[in-house]
């Protein structure tokens, strides 16, 4: 079973993502800020990271930078309401993210994109 780390400070969104991905058969771990995200990447060894951009302590961009430096083969999907801020999206892709999903999002589309990234 593939393991997915969800780094999201909005508990409603993280619960929705968690529920949908567990329904697809994935093992998930939820954390609520960038610092917890760094620890979870090291300990949980995920097959995929889903992260927000704006979070407490470390931003999603800082977290992506860390993850791609230390674990370059782990794909990352950014799930963020910053879709209209082209600079943030471009920076995330420049750092090596696999996909960007703007909030609000369709949980079925998220599940399809996760499956595509992991295959």
* pLDDT tens by residue, 83-101: 556 788 888 899 999 999 9
Confidence of residue 80 (pLDDT cuts 50, 70, 90): confident
Separation between Cα atoms, residue 67 and residue 114, nearest integer Å: 18
Rounded to an integer, the average pLDDT of 58-76 is 94
Whole-number pLDDT of residue 84? 54
Spatial neighbors of 68 by CB under 8 A, at least 6 apart, are: 76, 95, 96
Mean residue pLDDT of the chain comes to 93
Task: Please name the residue that has the structure tokens 């529920």.
Answer: 19
Please, which pLDDT band fits residue 82 given cuts at 50, 70 and 90? Answer: low
- Identify the band that residue 56 occupies on the pLDDT scale cut at 50, 70 and 90: confident
What is the distance between the alpha carbons of residues 46 and 40, in angstroms, rounded to a whole number?
8
pLDDT at residue 76 tops 70: yes
Write the CB contacts of 46 (distance below 8 Å, at least 6 apart in sequence): 3, 4, 5, 29, 40, 74
Residue 15 has pLDDT above 70, yes or no: yes
pLDDT of residue 2: 97
């Amino acid at each position: 079973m593939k393991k997915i780390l969800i780094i999201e400070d909005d508990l409603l969104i993280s619960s929705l993502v968690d529920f949908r991905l567990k329904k697809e058969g994935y093992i998930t771990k939820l954390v609520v800020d960038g610092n917890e995200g760094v620890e979870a990447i090291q300990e949980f060894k995920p097959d995929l990271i889903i992260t927000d951009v704006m979070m407490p302590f470390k931003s999603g961009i800082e977290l992506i930078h860390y993850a791609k430096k230390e674990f370059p083969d782990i794909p990352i999907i950014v799930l963020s309401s910053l879709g209209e801020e082209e600079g943030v999206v471009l920076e995330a892709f420049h750092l090596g993210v696999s996909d960007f999903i703007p909030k609000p999002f369709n949980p079925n589309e998220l599940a399809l994109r996760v499956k595509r990234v992991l295959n």
